Amino acid sequence: MSMIAVTGATGHLGRLVVENLLERGVEPGQVVALVRRPEKAGDLAALGVQVRHADYSRPETLGPALQGVEKLLLVSSSEVGKRAEQHRNVVEAARSAGVKLLAYTSILKADTSAMRLAAEHKASEEGIRASDIPFVFLRNGWYLENYTGNLAPALEHGALVGSAEEGRVSAATRADFAAAAATVLTGTGHENRVYELGGDESFTLAELAGIIAEASGRPVEYRDLPEEAYVGVLAGLGLPEPFARVLADSDRGIARGELFTDSGDLRSLIGRSPTTPRAAVTAAVRA
């Protein structure tokens, strides 16, 4: 029986991929949810999928976890700074286990982007290519949830703050990125392809402020700040400074066009238009 495994299955994206595979009719017993904390995976086990312990930082867990796996989705780790090494561990284990297809959630334009967040993705893509395992790079753009998940400060202050100038973002929902991953894991002909994934309707942060204002019926304007000043605002909101710096640096990447794509790859893979920014913001405001 050919098995499909998903890492980070207790995370937001991994969980959506597992659910999407089951919705497509993949037998639960054929799906392997790889998790670093099996105690968090009770609901996944209740779906009938196999739950296996796999910690990116503990190579001894990875070999047994990948036994019999034909296709693997490596959801990039959330531990920024440790990711290149963690992903190397997974790729090495996948090679030893004879995995036939390794899909990896990367970042838009990983090979050319100057964003700090892109460096570990670039290194990971290079490591995967060097492994000779047939691969698929799912270069995900920004999640719409990065914005819709926390609209309260913008609504409260009537201002969306950032450092992205007039740069355009091709964001999409996690559910749409998950559907693209499930297409690749269940389909054929994706070997050694690189997909630049983003929503069809890109926006500037000023346009996003307009969408939030319209959906909420409250005034919201975009206020562009120099990078250091934006770091200060984020730190003032309680974010740890290193994380504030990564976010501000990402906005500078947006200003350079590094989170924009007009490839249409997401639409092609999911076979429909991705959820629009307006629909996602409207749903978040109602919620």
Residue choice 5, 56, 213, 267 for contact with ligand NAP (CB under 6 A):
56
55 is a site residue for ligand NAP (CB under 6 A) = yes
Site string (6-35) toward ligand NAP, x via CB under 6 A? --x-xxxxx---------------------
Site string (86-125) toward ligand NAP, x via CB under 6 A? x------------------x--------------------
CA distance 59 to 75: 16
CA distance 107 to 207: 23
CA distance 22 to 31: 8
Structure tokens at 44: 């996944």
Site string (70-89) toward ligand NAP, x via CB under 6 A? -----xxxxx------x---
39 is a site residue for ligand NAP (CB under 6 A) = no
Residue with Cβ nearer ligand NAP (124 or 183) = 124
Expressed in angstroms, the distance from the first to the final Cα of the chain is: 42
Structure tokens at 93: 């284990």
176-179-182 Cα angle (round to 5): 155
By CB under 6 A, which span of 19-27, 137-145, 151-159, 162-170 interacts with ligand NAP?
Answer: 137-145
For 267-272, the CB contacts below 8 A with 24+ separation are 267/200, 269/179, 269/180, 269/183, 269/184, 269/195, 269/197, 270/176, 270/179, 270/180, 270/183, 271/183
To ligand NAP, the closest distance from the beta carbon of 86 in angstroms equals 6
Residue with Cβ nearer ligand NAP (77 or 204) = 77
To ligand NAP, the closest distance from the beta carbon of 259 in angstroms equals 9
CA distance 138 to 175: 14
The residues of the shown chain that bind ligand NAP, judged by CB under 6 A, are: 8, 10-14, 36-37, 40, 54-57, 75-79, 86, 105, 140, 142-143, 146
